[in-house]
């Protein structure tokens, strides 16, 4: 009789302390790295430690010498492409737009119709 089959656990993102330690080992801090890359805000690159921020992820990964998907596998597909949606949210079709004339700017529309 064989034991239970273990499923391969998904790769976990690096802990933020591990990322900071890898940067320190490479001779960088998040603040220094941000200043070199034109960020004035002290916490600009630190946002990538908590939430998806592709540009900052790439900067941090390059400084460490690995690919961003190695540090944050939950943010990337198996082929290395970002799993975040790109671009703006689609616009609502005009058919769904409000037909009432009581919304913001309605007085402007009514004035131009009356003229």
- Segment 54-74, tens digit of pLDDT: 999 999 999 999 999 999 999
Largest alpha-carbon pair distance within the chain?
88
CATH code: domain of residue 27:
1.10.260.40
For residue 67, tell me if it sits in a domain: yes
- Within a domain: 114: no
The model's pTM is 0.66
Give me the pLDDT at residue 103, please: 54
- Residue 85 lies inside a defined structural domain of this protein: no
Total structural domains within the chain: 1
Higher pLDDT, 80 or 45: 45
Quote the domain boundaries for residue 35: 16-75
């Amino acid at each position: 009789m064989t034991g239970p089959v273990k499923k391969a656990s998904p790769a976990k993102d690096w802990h933020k302390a591990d990322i900071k330690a890898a940067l320190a080992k490479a001779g960088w801090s998040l603040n220094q790295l941000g200043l070199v890359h034109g960020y004035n805000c002290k916490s600009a690159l630190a946002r990538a430690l908590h939430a998806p921020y592709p540009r900052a992820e790439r900067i941090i990964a390059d400084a460490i010498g690995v690919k961003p998907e190695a540090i944050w596998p939950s943010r990337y597909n198996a082929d290395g492409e970002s799993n975040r949606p790109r671009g703006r949210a689609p616009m609502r079709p005009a058919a769904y737009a409000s037909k009432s004339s009581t919304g913001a700017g309605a007085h402007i529309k009514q004035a131009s119709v009356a003229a």
